[in-house]
Every structure is written in structure tokens, then in C-alpha cells.
Amino acid sequence: MRQSSTEFGQLLVKAGRGVGLPLGVVEDLIDPVIWLQICGFPGEYEFHTALSALDEGRSEARFPDLLNTDRLTTSGSVSAAYLATGACDLLQLDWPEVGEEVLLSGTESPRLVSAALALSHRLLRREHFLKIVAPDEVFISGPGAEIICVRKEPQHQTPSGSGEKVIRLSTEHSGFDSAGTVLIDRVKEERFFEVCRLKGLCASPDIIAQLKAFSDRLLVPESEHSLKFGAGAGIVDSD
Amino acid sequence: MSVAPNQLDLSADKPHPGKSDVSAGLRPPERVCKLDRMGAAFPTRLSFMRLLLRRMSRERWQMKRGHFELDENGYGTAVYTAQLSDRAYSLIAFANPLADEDRTDRVIASAWDAAFVLFDGIPSQADIDRLRAQAPLQEAGRFEATDLVISRANRSLRLFEYVCDCLARGEQPEASRLNEVGYLMRTTAVYGNGKFGISDRSRIASREETQNSFQAEMLTVFLIRQFTFDQLEHIASCRAGGKPAVLAPSLKRSLGIGNATGLGMAPFVVSHPELLHHWFHARESALARVRSMEGISLDDIKRALELQQRAYQHVSEWRTSDEDYQQRNRKLLQNLLEFRHWLECAEEEQRSGKFWDVLFRRAETTFDLDGQELLCALLIEIYPEVSEGLDEMFHVHDPEPLHITETVRVTLERLDGQYDWTDDIDFSADEQNAHFWYVSENKLEPRFGRRAEEPGADQEMPVAIARDMAAFRHRLRDSDPNQSLRVFLQAYPEFRHLARRAQVLGRYPYGEIRDNLIAEGCSPLDILRFKLSFFGAAKFDPKSSLWTRITMFQGAPLMSELDQPWADDWWLSVAPQNA
């Protein structure tokens, strides 16, 4: 189903608010979801997964404490929306330290969190590299504003249904090597964005319908009073 | 009340009160970003319609009507193309029958006299066939990335048939009848920027001709205007047995495109602070340039007198059923007479100084807001060069991340500087929380409700910025000042979007409306008028505080007249004499 990125973005905001996410948290997720969608990933699915988990109580609407733990950081059942926002904020504090590895586990949408981290790191224009190892892909954000995404070779991917989805986060001054199929680099990303600019996005109609169901929670049911007076014009306003 | 020349104060005047760090000479945000003054705005040469037509003239766009297949009732399809040097834009119009009882301007409408699409390029027959099925559905249709703008319009029941009948009889309509309405058709929505699946703005944002605000939408309306003339003449000709039936050019020019504007515009203004800042800043910069001028020539005075005369006639011809607007316009006419007197009495010594600045300061103490804002627009109109460079400002730059490393203290200091105007508002009082903005499930129509009387306040749109910022400041004051904003926002995530907004406004001080938008007495009409004035609309005719009719491109050159030397001189149009 073809959508404009504007229409898609507005739906994401409304769906997020419909589920009860604070507007400021939703705002931080829009760019990563759209970026995933443009670059050929099922961004709408990732977002819907995060919202559904929140809506059904399978994840918690709280920020994890990512600073006061040792090497292994367990996010528990924290919503990917809050994990992504909290982790992206910490990037501004030069977290994680160079040479340190942080594990974020238990998120229902590791790809959403990974994309958010990669894009946030790019916006910060840091001099070091950030490597984000998700179950199926590796994202690397570097000093030249380039984001590289590599699909891990099958033997390195996390089997589906195998349990917790872990994100490994680390920073280095020099670049990372990562074996696998390059899904996104500077050239590919520009091409994807050009296609989106010219043709829009493709999204799953089923997921769009489910996101719309979330966004419809923001609509106020019709009433006679609202119909007559809410818009300031008569029901049949004509010249 | 007349003013004797020697009462004009040539001495240095008292400085404007203001705390914002704005360029010297600009009226500060605390003065202009107020609802009552916004609700007195007039179109200027920086208006989006004016920007578009100047570009079309300067770049010699070739305008032509291509496909034109209408039956004797005017139903069918027409295509108009604007050909630039390296690309084209085409308006495709679909006109169809519509029963009078089905004709409504509300968003809840599902049928219209005509539907339109602005197409990126020249449409093929397949494109036309596709859009014939989708365009009449409007919001319910699905569109492609080549479809830049969609719109729909209804005929003026008061005017269309009368003019058609005159032309069919070989006569021209009376100019006074045309002036009563001002348009043959009025649009009830003009959607761009990716709504309902049409093209994203990003497709055209880097193009010089569409980089500025709403240029594609303005082109759409301009071409719709041409369609209304052609449809009218076609129908009249058919009724006259095939004889040509042509509306006189002067009468055509006096007709624009009407528009029925509801609430939807207002949340847009609130949610786009950077854009709002650019609009304000450009206008205030132009005004400041004029006010800084010294040595005003007699030719400048003559031009000012011409514009004063035109403005006076325009306001005199302004038809509105709203009694408040009628009263305001009567006062406005008095202000205009006073201004004329000042001009006629201006002596050489007075003109050698900052004459316009003196007059403007005088107006600020003696004119109503309408008079002041009309004078602002008039002064900008005198000098075409004052808009140089300013008309390239109307677009948004890339966003920056929310900076969370600052402390609560720093955040609070910023907010105290930006939102101290909310200190005088008691948000615990019912009258300060009287309203809420919401979206109805009925075709997503934006509406304005009364909190104590209607359900739905818990789904209100985030438009109550004053109230929410006050709550944010209150919470910050109760927090550890040395705490980081990051930690604070984790505890209170409901303020995250406000923290971002405040940081944005640090760069764009004109980006906030400095009034409580949910208070008793808040008139959304003020926001609508402000935005519409930037479109270039005039002749506001409110139907309530939530809804107004306007006219766009009234007085503008016709499609065939863009190369005329006077093509840009149509600010505040006046009715022609009978043709």
C-alpha cells in the first residue's frame, strides 16, 4: 500500500498517542521508523510491535536505568519506545564509553531501537563509531554521517523464537569490520530516499489498519451538538 | 479626528517594550504574536500568492489550456498546464452534477461541484482516467506520488447562474453584483504535503519554484480560478447556441476563488513554530526596512496616497455579515482617512527624516489594530525592494535533536524568558480552560469544544501550549535545579515535546502565539485570518469565530496577463466599473 511519508508519519504520531505514549517520546520514534521503512525494512511492523506490547501490557512504559549497571544491562520488559528514547538520550553523554560494550536485552523491537540509536548518533556528529549489533543486522554509525547496515551471516543471526532479543552496543575510534550482506550504505541510502521522494513509501495494509485503529482512539465520537456547533458552520453551509 | 501637521512627533520616540533579542527595529514577538493583532492581519507583497505570480511573470511560465471536454452543463474534464523551462505542472479539473441540497462546505461533505488535482508534469490519458475515479472521492481516494495537491470546490449559488445567464444573453453582468460575492466558485479544502497519499512535500521542496510555503497550493487555486471562467463561458456559450460568451477581462479580474476556511488551519500554525517564525520575521523585517528609510520622496508620498485610496475603496467594498467586522471596518475607514491627512500635510522637513517611522508610531497610539496592521501592509507595498531576500525564508530547515544535557535550572531560565507571559494567566480558573481542540470521528473534522459541557476533552489535541508550558515550568520549579534535563524528562515524559519546543523557539522567537488558545473568548478566527493573510487572502467574511469565507486572487492578473507590467500591482483589489 503506497503512502506518503507525511501521511505515514502523522499516522505514527497519532497511533503512538492513541496507545498512550507521551507526544515527546513518539516524536523521537518517527524518524527511525520512517527511515527503516524507506530503507526497505518493515518499520511499520516494528512500530506496531512496540505499540502492541505496550497496549497489551507485555512491556512497561518506563525508562530503563542504563547507567547504573555493570556490563550486562537488562532492559527487562521495558517498552522499545522508552528504551530507544532513553538510550538515544545517553548518546549525548558519550555513552557507552569507548571500548565499553553494553547489552540491551528484552526489547520486543530491537530493530527499532537500533535504528533510533544509529540515527541519533549521526545527528550528534561524533568523531567515533557506534556499533549496534541486533539479532539479525549490524548497524554502524560513523563520523562521516554514513550509516552502514549489514545483514549478519545466517550462522550469526539469532534464531527466531529463541528467546530474548539482545542488542550489543559499543563505540570505537576506528571503524568496525562486520561480515555479511550490506543492506545500507551511503549510496544505497541515497537511492532509497530518492525512491521515497519520487514514489512514496510502501506499507502493509494490515499493519496500517491496525495503526489506524490505535490512532482512532484519539477521535471524539460524533454527537448532535458537536456536529452543529463544533466547526462553527451550519451542517449545510453553502453559498 | 484630524491631525494638524505640527502635531506629528519628529523627535525620538519611546522605545518599544520588549524582552526578546530581535534585530533592532523589528516589532518584538510579545507585540505581534498576539491573537488580537494576528486577527487584524492583511495580505502583503510577501503573501504566498504574490510570491507565486511574481515568479510566474519573471520566469515567463507558459500557461495553456489543453484538454477541455465539458458538456453543455459544464460537466466533464479540463487540463491546464504551467510550463516552466525544465518542468510542468498541470491542473486536472473534474466537474460533475451536484444537487443543491448536497452542496456544503463542511469537511463532512462527500460530493462537490468540482474536484481538482495538481499533477507533477503533463498527465497522460491513463493518469486522467485514474484521477477521474479518485479525485471526486477526495479524502476517501487514493493518490500517487505524481499527485501534488487535491482540492474541491462548489459554485456560488448567488453568482454563478446570474453571470452565466447574462453572458448567454449577450450581456455583461453588473460589476456591483460581482462585488457582492467576489467569486464564481469556492474551494472547501486544498490539500498538499502528503495528505491522503498525495505526494510528499519532499518531492518538490528542493525545487526553486516550490521551496517556499504553499506554492503548489497557490498554483492550484490560481488555475482553478481560470477553470471557473472557462467553465462559465462554455456553459453560457452553449446556452447561446454556440455564440461566444466572454466575460470582460476587467470583470474577470475582479473575481477570485472563494474559500470556506475552518479550524484545520489553526493546529497547523501551532504545530509549526519554525514556519510561523519565518512568516512573522519576514513581514516584520520588511516593515523595519521601510521604517528605517529617510528622505522620503514626493513620488513615494504619491504612491502611498494611491495605495491609501485603493485600501479605502477596498474596505468600503468589503462585504461581511459579521457585525463585529462591520464595526471594525468602519473604524478602519476612519483610520485610513486620518492617514491620508497625514500624507497630504507632510512637509519637506518631515519627509527628510524617518517619516514612515514617525507615522507608524503615531498610528500605534491612535489607530485600532486593524488600522495598524493595514498600515504595515501598505508601507511594505510602497517599496517592492523591501521584500528582497525575505521571500526565500519561508521553509523549514532540518530539525535538531532535543538537547538533554542541560540542567533543570537552565531549562527553567529559558522557559521563564519565553513564557513569562503565561504568569498572568490563572489556569485553575474555569474561564482559562473553557475550550478544547479535537478531531471528530466524522471525516476527521477539526472542532472546538467546551470542556465543561462536551465529552472528548481527554482526547484533546496538544494545542493548549500556554497551559502546558505553565505546568512544565511549575514542575521544573519544584525539581532539583542541578538535575539534568534527561533525568527530569524520564520522570516526567509528558513534558518532553514541550522541552523540544522551547529549544526550537530559542532559535525562532516569533514561533509562538502568546495567548491561551483554550480560554473563554479565544477566537480561532484570529489564527485563521493570520494564516490566510499570508496566503494573500482578503475580504474576510466570518460565519462564526471558527469559520470564515475569504477570497483568493481577487484582482490578480488573468492567466494570459502575467507578462503585463502591472501584473504585480493587485494588492487589496477594488471593484471595476461595469464593462
Chain A positions touching B497 (Cβ under 8 A) are 22-24, 27
Task: Delimit the domains of chain B by residue range.
Answer: 5-32+273-394, 49-262, 408-507
C-alpha dist (Å) from residue B257 to A195, A213, B410: 35, 37, 49
Q: How far apart are CA B15 and CA B384, in angstroms?
A: 27
Whether B87 contacts chain A with CB within 8 A: no
pLDDT confidence of residue A175: 75
| A115 band by pLDDT with thresholds 50, 70 and 90 | very high
A123 Cα to chain B: minimum distance (Å):
7
Name every chain A residue with its beta carbon within 8 A of the beta carbon of B100. 238
Answer whether B558's CB lies under 8 Å from B254's CB.
no
The minimal CB distance from B441 to the residues A6, A90, A221 is found for A221
**Interface residue B103 vs chain A (CB under 8 A):** yes
Helix, strand, coil proportions of chain B in percent (round to 5)? 50, 15, 40
> Residue A237: its pLDDT value, please?
59
Sheet holding B76-83, edge to edge: B62-70, B76-83, B88-95, B114-120, B147-155, B183-191, B256-261, B547-552, B538-544
What pLDDT is attached to residue A77? 83
Give A232 to chain B, closest Cα distance, Å: 5
C-beta separation of B84 from B64 below 8 A: no
Residue B536 contacts by C-beta under 8 Å, 6 or more apart in sequence? B43, B47, B48, B49, B50, B218, B552, B553
Does the pLDDT value for residue A71 go beyond 50?
A: no
Residue B8's pLDDT is 27
A125 touches chain B (CB under 8 A): no
Q: From the candidates A26, A35, A54, A239, which should be mutated to test the interface with B, based on the most B CB atoms within 10 A?
A: A239
Determine the Cα–Cα distance for residues B396 and B17; give it in Å rounded to an integer.
Answer: 29
Residues B104-118 pLDDT 10s? 777 677 889 999 999
Asked whether the beta carbons of B360 and B289 are under 8 A apart, the reply is: no
Residue type, A152: K
Give residue B15's pLDDT.
30
Closest by CA position to A91, among listed A44, A124, A139: A124
Q: Where are the domains of chain A?
A: 2-219
Does the CA dihedral A71-A76-A80-A86 come out positive or negative?
negative
Q: Which parts of B60-101 fold into alpha helices (H)?
A: none
Q: Please enumerate in sequence order all residues whose Cβ is within 8 A of that of A1, keeping only pairs 6 or more positions apart, or say none.
A: A202, A203, A204, A205, A208
User: Tens of pLDDT along B255-279?
Assistant: 999 998 888 888 999 999 999 999 9
Each residue's pLDDT expressed in tens, for chain B with a length of 579 residues: 332 222 222 223 323 222 333 456 899 999 999 999 999 999 999 999 999 999 999 999 999 999 999 999 999 999 999 999 999 999 999 999 988 777 777 767 788 999 999 999 999 999 999 999 999 999 889 899 999 999 999 999 879 999 999 999 999 999 999 988 899 999 988 999 888 889 988 899 889 999 888 999 999 999 999 999 999 999 999 999 999 999 999 999 999 999 988 888 889 999 999 999 999 999 999 999 999 999 999 999 999 999 999 999 999 999 899 999 999 999 999 999 999 999 999 888 888 899 999 999 999 999 999 999 999 999 999 999 988 888 766 667 767 789 999 999 999 999 999 999 999 999 999 999 999 999 988 878 888 999 999 999 999 999 999 999 999 999 999 999 999 999 999 999 999 999 999 999 998 999 999 999 999 999 999 999 999 999 999 989 998 888 888 999 999 999 999 999 999 999 999 988 666
Query: Would an 8 Å CB–CB cutoff place A233 in contact with chain B?
Result: yes
pLDDT at B389: 86
Q: Distance (Å, rounded) from C-alpha A9 to C-alpha B202? A: 13
CB contact at 8 A, A221 and B449: no
Q: Does A199 touch chain B (CB under 8 A)?
A: yes
